[in-house]
Structure 1
Amino acid sequence: MTNDIHLTEDLRVKELKKLVSPTNLKEELPLGIELTNKVLADRETVRDIIHLRDDRMLIVIGPCSIHDPVAAIDYAKRLAKLADAVKERYFIVMRVYFEKPRTTIGWKGFINDPHLDNSCDMKFGLHSARKLLLDIAKLGLPIATEFLDPIVPQYTADLVSWSAIGARTTESQTHREMSSGLSMPVGFKNATDGNIEIAINAIESASNPHSFLGIDQNGHTAVVKTTGNPNTHLVLRGGKQPNFKYPEVTYAACKLEAAGLEKSLMVDCSHANASKVARNQVKVWKDILKQRKKGGCPITGAMIESFIEEGSQKISGELKYGLSITDACVDWETTERMLLG
């Protein structure tokens, strides 16, 4: 009897490559007891801030995306010293973003294409990403990332203290289900058009139990049953217009309260709030600091895109060290002035 499966399946699949299982990668690059305890403590601090039990501000800061581990460690060493200097006011968590959602096409991030040449060596990408996370964690820095592919968390989530669901995926059922099972706090960004109802719906959804298809630590397909994530919050990133000023923040807080949720939110100083101009992040930062000084402010966190050099560059020819290849960032000197001022 002829097997006709290949007549109707995988007609546009060029190749399938097996990957190392999450268990095997973690055995090669283990977290260890000391770092495990550090991650647990950092997550607890983040939870305390978003639930208004710690009056410091949560600052998620770092490059738009990781493309050069050497520059990332250079930045992390600087940030670790700065984090210690401002620890009474801010709890610093480094952005270590390995996945980039694309509106159409483009570089999908370090895990997908670590060599920046469309070779998509994901085996190398996953290994290098986990090693970098460990190296950053050893510097004492909590780690933040955006989870885009629902399989990636099995390889890296044990090292992450805060995660984001981006504006393009906040409405996705897959990402809401995934977030309901994540072990760290999760920030949901408003939609790209500025709609915050979508993010509020996502917060409600992720706080509830779900069942969905995924993989286990051995890489086998499994039904994942979750308990729901009670540590989720809103991230205002702007839309058709910025939404970081007092009226928009107050409106968002009222919407959260009406939904029975904590009046606690983060403001993304970049993206649409900065009109995609890196230096405008300074204006946004100063505005939210003024709002916090008034008291009773629902802003409990901020996100800043920062790297060694200001601006961004395209992936072509020899790349400039410490310069983003995705969104433009403020430089290190500006970063210091923002956080020390």
Structure 2
Amino acid sequence: MFTSLLNASPLATLPTPDELLQDHPVPPRLARQIARSRQQARHILQGEDDRLLLVIGPCSIHDPVAARDYGGRLAELQGQYGDQLQLVMRTYFEKPRTTLGWKGFIFDPGLDGSDRLAEGLRQARELLLALGQEGLACATEFLDLTSMLYLGDLISWGAIGARTTESQLHRQLASALPCPIGFKNGTDGNIRIAVEAILASRAAHLYPQPSGDGRLALVRSHGNPDGHLILRGGRQPNYQSNHVAEAGELLRQHHLSPRLMVDCSHGNSQKQHARQLPVARDLAAQLGNGCHTIAAVMVESFLKEGRQDIASKPQRYGQSVTDGCIGWEQTRVVLDTLAEGVEARRQQRIALAG
């Protein structure tokens, strides 16, 4: 009966969220760790913690082994940078597409068009559990409206992307999510739509939502007080001090916190991955000059610099199959640069207070 309503053919039955969560539960210690990392991110975004929230990692997850390798290296650096940076690893399993292309690890974990969605969900959850047990907080973009039911309990910070920030459904979703959510400006650079999304997500919403057993339920969200703006550039970059100041002022005009995130990649790097380094240097200089509007930064980074096509044979280990990323050595440079900027801002504040 149901399929007769659609121009579609049923392919497979997926596990319910409850079934996947029961098969791969969150240990109590990890649940406490995730709650703590969410709270730390909130404190940074609210200005109660002067560190920088740094969301860093591959453009997308395509190889769980390489992702765990990267995550292990990142986890080892938390002690070194913990006084200046809260490190959160990008674990993006879904990819928005302007037209067509690989839609991400959840939809096609084999990278071969086999579309084994149930396997993608299982492997994604297993990876998040493994990274969490390494001590890492994880970030993702919430794109499909049901994937959060399978993975949302393992996410410490989330994003609504440039193509979906205007979507009412994603604003409703963000209002119900239990972690801080960043809204990217539009692909054309429009930041006003992201500000409107923040306002919408702060409110309660009534909407239908699949429940853990797969049945459709009517839910009322509580509103998310931790929505914030992500400057990701557009036709032109928008990371420089004048752009940051203008965005902060627009947020104030709408009675929102002016504290925001800047994405070093995408429009701000003009899709040239190596340009993330000069963007990071500029942001560090703004921090050193006393800028408190910048609360968070995003960087696309992996083990090996650059990108490769999904069809590449053999595939190069640790290299992105979507957007180009900076490599591990460059990642260390970015971490040093941003940590120095945070420390300079801190010392300036101490000097002014004295």
Q: 1:153-182, CA deviations, whole angstroms, 9 ceiling, x for partnerless residues? A: 010000000000000000000100000000
Aligned amino acid, residue 151 of structure 1: T
Partner residue in 2 for 1:283: 278
Pairing partner for 1:9 from 1, 5, 8? 5
Distance 2:120 2:317 in 1: 20
Aligned to 1:310: 305
Instruction: Verify: 1:202 aligned to 2:197, yes or no.
Output: yes
Distance in 1, matches of 2:104 and 2:65, equals 16
In the other structure, the counterpart of 1:118 is 113
CA apart distance, 1:192: 0.2
How large is the RMSD of aligned CA atoms in angstroms?
1.2
Q: Hey, what does 1:44 align to over in structure 2? A: 39
Aligned residue number for residue 255 of structure 1: 250
**Paired AA for residue 54 in structure 1:** D
What is the CA–CA distance in structure 2 between the aligned matches of 1:268 and 1:83, rounded to whole Å? 21
Residue in structure 2 matched with residue 319 of structure 1 by the alignment: 315
TM-score (norm 1): 0.97
Q: Distance in 2 between matches of 1:49 and 1:333?
A: 27
Aligned counterparts of 2:18 and 2:41: Cα–Cα separation in 1: 27
How many angstroms apart in 1 are the aligned matches of 2:94 and 2:79? 28
- Tell me which residue corresponds to 2:343: none
- What's the offset of the Cα at 1:213? 1.6
| Residue 68 of structure 1 pairs with residue 68 of structure 2 | no
How many equivalent residue pairs? 336
1:303 is paired with a residue whose SS is strand
Tell me how far apart the structure 1 counterparts of residues 236 and 219 of structure 2 sit (CA, whole Å): 38
The Cα of 1:83 is off from its aligned counterpart by: 2.1
Residue 326 of structure 2 aligns to which amino acid in structure 1?
Answer: V
Distance 1:87 1:70 in 2: 25
User: What secondary structure is seen at the aligned counterpart in 2 of 1:97?
Assistant: coil
Equivalent residue for 2:334, pick from 331, 334, 338: 338
Distance, in Å, in 2 between the alignment partners of 1:224 and 1:156 is: 19
Distance in 2 of aligned mates of 1:84 and 1:149: 34
Aligned counterpart, 2:348: none
Question: What is the rounded CA distance, in whole Å, between the counterparts of 2:216 and 2:12 in structure 1?
Answer: 16
Q: How far is the alpha carbon of 1:276 from its aligned partner?
A: 0.4
Query: Gaps spanning 5+ residues in structure 2: where?
Result: 338-354
Q: CA deviation at 1:219?
A: 1.4
How far, CA to CA, are the matches of 2:262 and 2:78 in structure 1?
19
Partner residue, 2:215: 220
Matches within 5 A, 1:168-183: 168-183=163-178
Equivalent runs, 1:85-96 vs 2, <5 Å: 85-96=80-91
Q: Which residue of 2 aligns with 1:211?
A: 206
Once residues 13 and 329 of structure 1 are traced to their aligned partners in structure 2, the CA distance between those partners, rounded to angstroms, is 36
What is the aligned partner in structure 1 of residue 14 from structure 2? 19
- TM-superposed CA distance for 1:296, in Å, is 4.1
Distance between the aligned counterparts of 1:314 and 1:213, measured in 2?
38
Deviation at 1:54, TM superposition (A): 0.3
1:79-99 deviation line (CA, Å, top 9, x unaligned): 011222100010000000000
Q: List runs of 5+ in structure 1 lacking aligned partners.
A: none
Q: Normalising by the residue count of structure 2, what TM-score does the alignment of the two structures yield?
A: 0.93
1:84 and 2:101 correspond = no
